[in-house]
Amino acid sequence: MSQSAIRADYRRTLTRRWLLSSPALLIVLLAATGPLLVVLLYSFLKAGPYGGVLPEFSPEAWIGVVMQRGLFDDTLSIADAHLAIFWRSIRLSLETTLLTLIFGFPTAYFIATRPPNTRELWLFLITIPFWTNLLIRTFAILQIIRNDGTINTVLLKLGLIGEPIRMLYTDGAILAGMVYVYLPLMVLPLYASMEKLDFRIVEAGYDLYATPFRVLRLVIIPLVKPGIVAGCILVFIPSLGAYVTPNVLGGGKNLMIGNLIELQFGQGRNWPLGSALSISLMAVVMAALIVYVRNADKTGGHHG
């Protein structure tokens, strides 16, 4: 066979190989990209009176994301409620990410420093909560922090408090629930990068007069940074869109974006606004991701 014939043959093989990925591409197209385009389209249409949309262009939904119309006239004002919900979502997600990092880092370090044959057991224990339905786990927390729940009952019996502490239906309750739910998502990527960590490098730090805190700051954290970034992304993104936890523990009063979106498609019967809010949420996630990735490239790109 001539040189060019071989090359042409190779090119054909490559084309055929590309076909092998078509099932995956088809799924991405039908299940992700397609619906997303529908959502985008809906956000520019007019709301139907009983839900659904009317085939009529309207920017109303996008205006409604940040503005609200007066009840009796058409004056526009800033939609305080929406912005407050957006802000609460971002704040709670950031707090969740920070807390899971604070709890997850020592946990992952502990597991990574166990003898190799016992690490599997520890990882297994970390993943056990995943076996139970999220709703049931959330209701379990509800049982614990209710006014007549476990914590308050014990404290009352001990005489430490005179009346029950109100914990349920607060931002604190949502935060506690989300930290509990998302902690494994932080521990697993952290563990994955710590497991690869060469502990002789850590010893070299101690050997060169670095105190344990400085070894942590100057050696361990820079080396496991890819794991930290991955864990933060994995926790922050689902936190932003959390629905079940704020619904149960926030009592429908302390809404997050997820609840607000659900409200538009349900009781609110404003599908275009729900769609616009969904796209806005995606934009926030994208922005956060870009910040993360940029940051990771700059300082952590050479390692791991």
Partner 1 sequence: MNEAIGIRDVSKVFGQGDTTFTAVARVNISIRENEFFTLLGPSGCGKTTLLRMIAGFEFPTDGEILLHGENIADMPPFRRPINTVFQNYALFPHMTVADNIGFGLRMLGKSKAEVSERVIEMLRLVKMEPMAGRRTSEISGGQQQRVALARALAPQPKVLLLDEPLSALDYKLRKEMQLELKRMQHETGITFIFVTHDQEEALTMSDRIAVMSKGQVLQVGSPRDIYDAPADRFVAEFIGETNFLTGRVRKIAEETAEVMLEGGAAISATAAGVGVGDDVTIVVRPEHAEVVAVPATGSAVTKGTLENVVYFGTDTHFHVRLPDGSVFVTRQQNRPRLSSEFAVGSEVSIAVAADAARILRAGA
Spatial separation of the C-alpha atoms in residues 241 and 236, rounded to whole Å: 9
Q: What are phi and psi of 57, to 5 degrees?
A: -65, 140
Quote the least distance from Cβ 197 to partner 1, whole Å.
10
Task: Kindly list the distances between the CA atom of residue 164 and the CA atoms of 60, 139, 141, 147, 168, in Å, as whole numbers in the listed order.
Answer: 46, 19, 16, 6, 11
Report the nearest approach of partner 1 to the CB of residue 108 (Å). 19
CB atoms within 10 A of CB 304: 16
Q: Which is nearer to partner 1, 11 or 217 (CB)?
A: 217
Position 20, amino acid: L
Q: Which of 11, 166, 217, 303 binds partner 1 (CB under 8 A)?
A: 303
Displacement of CA 67 from its chain's centroid (Å) = 26
Interface pattern 163-202 for partner 1 (x via CB under 8 A): -----------------------------------x-xx-
Torsion angle, alpha carbons of 243, 245, 246, 248, to 10: 110
Site for partner 1 in 273-302 (CB under 8 A): 302
For residue 83, CA distances in Å to 89, 138, 236, 248, 287 come to 10, 26, 19, 22, 17
Closer Cβ to partner 1, 70 or 115, answer by number: 115
Nearer to partner 1, 84 or 208 (CB): 208
Task: Give the binding-site size for partner 1 (rule: CB under 8 A).
Answer: 19
Q: CB 225 → partner 1: shortest distance, Å?
A: 8
Instruction: Tell me the closest approach of the beta carbon of residue 201 to partner 1, in angstroms.
Output: 5
109's CB contacts (< 8 A; 6+ apart) are: 194, 220
Smallest gap from residue 230 Cβ to partner 1 (A): 17
> For partner 1, which is the closer residue by CB, 130 or 206?
206
- CA–CA separation, 134 and 19 (whole Å): 38
Distances, alpha carbon 244 to alpha carbons 184, 196, 250, 254, 255, in Å: 17, 35, 10, 12, 11
- At closest approach, how far in Å is the CB of 117 from partner 1? 13
Q: Which is nearer to partner 1, 54 or 208 (CB)?
A: 208
Footprint of partner 1 on 198-237 (CB under 8 A): 198, 200-201, 203-212, 214, 219, 222-223
The beta-strand segments (E) located in 34-83 are: 45-47, 53-57, 67-69, 76-78
In the complex, least distance from residue 290 CB atom to partner 1, rounded to whole angstroms: 23
Nearer Cβ to partner 1, position 91 or 214?
A: 214
Q: Which is nearer to partner 1, 157 or 302 (CB)?
A: 302
Q: Is the dihedral of CA 149, 260, 86, 289 positive or negative?
A: positive
Q: Which residues bind partner 1 (CB under 8 A)?
A: 198, 200-201, 203-212, 214, 219, 222-223, 302-303
